């Protein structure tokens, strides 16, 4: 790949001192950030490579979302106003069970497109039970950075036909992990994804953890303690609270990402801390499904890793990280005070904290020499009201005022994926038309 020079008005680095650089340029070589220096120091006339002039724009690191369901994008708007277990039983399990390879492909494309055009360059996806290779194919052809894995289900009282044997789950997971872990030039890695306690036997949960040892750099990704009825059922099934149960079967460590984590007792919070578990906070999903408000300020005070994820499109009905950042800040303020969950903290959760959660902070999550060039160019002029971009106010503008509309361009690994707010990968009109067609063709059996 040729060298590229990216000129910026401001670079919000998200490095350890949160430097915001003015009139700097990023030199990219083969997808990697080779240097970051004042623009004036570059001899632009004789530069050997491509120059991208964003000298009136703000450049931020690509966002990292640590809990997504690409397979659900097609079902946006079809599972509204329900609480979690009804939402799964009456809508989402029947829909996922009905997926064909074609419908899954379009769902993944719609999701990846929505994420990339919204500035998300890395995701942790919880796949679906069957045809997982389709999601991997789409992640690879898009060039996005991702952890993904088939969602494992070997018991399912809510919707029995959406289930396979433990042996089938383990065998197919192993095969998909062998085929795709480390693919896409190392951008795609495996995320082992037993769905949640209610749909997994203890054997499946434990043997999956064992299997991870063959795949260095992979993560273990599941849902925990999202909904009161869910945790009551876990208590009846296991005699324990959800996180206590996970600890007792040995699946908690620093490569475990737990989505949600709302209903935890003190012992469970200590356990997450002791085991360096990563929490993926999904505020809009937690609100829309009526699950509650996670005590994120408390977790952060304890030193627990918290990053952000939009969850699935039928949870909230948007995959925008801007919405998640905004809500992550706002929902805590009436409870913990207006100084809690400040904009900088939330912006770091959506970038470097996500990269740290996935152990890829040497390559993503901030704009620093030696990292991969995952960059988002924001046009903060495109707004009804002028936005403040002074160094101390820029985080507020991004977290409290900006939306996906402000995303002008997106690079992953130094490759341009979105230009002038439009995808360079997909024809969006066609995607939507194909999505509607595939949805109409699905045979969904609702119990």
Contact criterion met (CB below 8 Å) for 192 and 220: yes
Nearer to ligand GUN among residue 184 and residue 222 (C-beta): 222
From 10-18, 42-50, 311-319, 378-386, span contacting ligand GUN (CB under 6 A): 311-319
Minimum distance between the CB of residue 56 and ligand GUN, rounded to whole angstroms?
40
Taking CB under 6 A as the binding criterion, the range among 26-34, 268-276, 307-315, 406-414 that sits at the site for ligand GUN is 307-315
Q: Of 316, 245, 246, which Cα lies nearest the Cα of 281?
A: 316
Number of helical (H) and strand (E) elements in the chain, helices listed first: 18, 19
- Identify whether the C-beta of residue 183 lies closer than 8 Å to the C-beta of residue 139: no
Q: Could you tell me the sign of the dihedral formed by the alpha carbons of 133, 66, 230, 242, in that order?
A: positive
- What's the min distance (Å) between Cβ of 291 and ligand GUN? 8
What is the closest distance, in whole angstroms, from the C-beta atom of residue 244 to ligand GUN in the complex? 18
- Calculate Rg over the CA atoms of the chain: 21
Nearer CB in complex with Fe ion: 291/326: 291
194 binds, among ligand GUN, Fe ion, none (CB under 5 to 8 A by kind): none
d(CA 136, CA 115): 16
> CB 198 → Fe ion: shortest distance, Å?
13
**Closest residue (Cβ) to Fe ion?**
311
Q: SS in 3 state form for 144-182?
A: CEEEEECEECCCCCCCCCCCCCHHHHHHHHHHHHHHHCC
**How near is the Cβ of 67 to Fe ion at its closest, in Å?**
6
The interface mask with Fe ion, positions 270-299, x = CB under 5 A, is ------------------------------
The answer to whether residue 311 forms part of the interface with Fe ion (CB under 5 A) is yes
Of the candidates 268, 311, 353, 438, which one interacts with ligand GUN according to CB under 6 A?
311
**Rounded distance between C-alpha atoms, residue 273 and residue 371, angstroms:** 28
- Which residues are CB-contacts of 132 (< 8 A; sequence separation ≥ 6)? 148, 149, 150, 172, 176
Nearest-angstrom CA–CA distance, 240 and 235: 5
What DSSP state is assigned to residue 62? Answer: P
Among residues 69 and 189, whose Cβ is nearest to ligand GUN? 69
Query: Site map for ligand GUN, 177-196, x if CB under 6 A?
Result: ------------------xx
Q: Which of residues 62-101 bind ligand GUN (CB under 6 A)?
A: 69, 84, 88, 92
Interface residue with ligand GUN among 4, 91, 99, 223 (CB under 6 A) is: 223
- Which of helix, strand or coil describes residue 94? helix
The residues that touch Fe ion, with contacts defined as CB under 5 A, are 311
Residues near ligand GUN (CB under 6 A): 69, 84, 88, 92, 195-196, 223, 226, 285, 311-312, 315
């Amino acid at each position: 790949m040729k060298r590229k020079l990216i000129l910026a008005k401001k670079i919000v680095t998200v490095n350890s001192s949160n430097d915001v650089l003015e009139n700097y340029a990023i030199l990219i070589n083969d997808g990697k950030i080779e240097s970051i220096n004042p623009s004036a120091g570059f001899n632009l006339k004789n530069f050997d490579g491509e120059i991208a002039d964003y000298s009136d724009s703000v450049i931020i690191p690509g966002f990292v979302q640590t809990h997504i369901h690409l397979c659900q994008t097609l079902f946006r708007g079809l599972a509204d106003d329900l609480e979690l277990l009804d939402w799964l039983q009456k809508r989402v399990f029947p829909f996922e069970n009905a997926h064909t390879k074609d419908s899954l492909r379009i769902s993944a494309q719609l999701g990846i497109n929505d994420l990339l055009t919204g500035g998300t360059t890395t995701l942790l996806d919880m796949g679906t039970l069957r045809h997982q290779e389709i999601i991997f194919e789409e992640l690879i052809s898009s060039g996005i950075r991702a952890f993904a894995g088939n969602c494992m289900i070997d018991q399912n009282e809510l919707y029995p036909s959406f289930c396979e044997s433990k042996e089938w789950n383990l065998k197919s997971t192993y095969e998909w992990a062998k085929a795709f872990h480390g693919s896409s030039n190392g951008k795609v890695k495996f995320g082992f994804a037993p769905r949640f306690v209610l749909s997994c036997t203890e054997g499946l949960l434990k043997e999956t953890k064992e299997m991870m040892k063959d795949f260095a750099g992979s993560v273990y990704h599941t849902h925990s303690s999202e909904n009161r009825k869910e945790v009551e059922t876990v208590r009846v099934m296991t005699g324990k609270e959800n996180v206590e149960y996970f600890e007792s079967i040995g699946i908690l460590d620093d490569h475990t990402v737990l989505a949600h984590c709302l209903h935890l007792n003190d012992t469970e919070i200590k356990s997450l801390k002791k085991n360096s578990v990563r929490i993926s906070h999904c505020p809009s999903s937690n609100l829309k499904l009526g699950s509650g408000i996670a005590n994120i300020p408390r977790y952060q005070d304890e030193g627990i890793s918290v990053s952000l994820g939009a969850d699935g499109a039928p949870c909230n009905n948007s995959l925008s990280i801007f919405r998640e950042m905004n809500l992550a800040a706002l929902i805590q303020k009436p409870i913990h005070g207006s100084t809690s969950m400040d904009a900088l903290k939330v912006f770091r959760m959506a970038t470097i904290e996500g990269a740290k959660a996935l152990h890829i902070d040497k390559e993503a999550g901030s704009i620093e020499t030696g990292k991969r060039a995952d960059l988002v160019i924001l046009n903060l002029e495109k707004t009804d009201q002028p936005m403040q971009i002074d160094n101390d106010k820029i985080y507020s503008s991004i977290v409290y005022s900006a939306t996906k509309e402000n995303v002008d361009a997106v690079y992953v690994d130094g490759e341009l994926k979105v230009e002038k707010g439009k995808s360079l990968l997909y024809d969006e009109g066609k995607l939507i038309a194909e999505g509607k067609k595939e949805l109409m063709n699905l045979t969904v059996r609702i119990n």
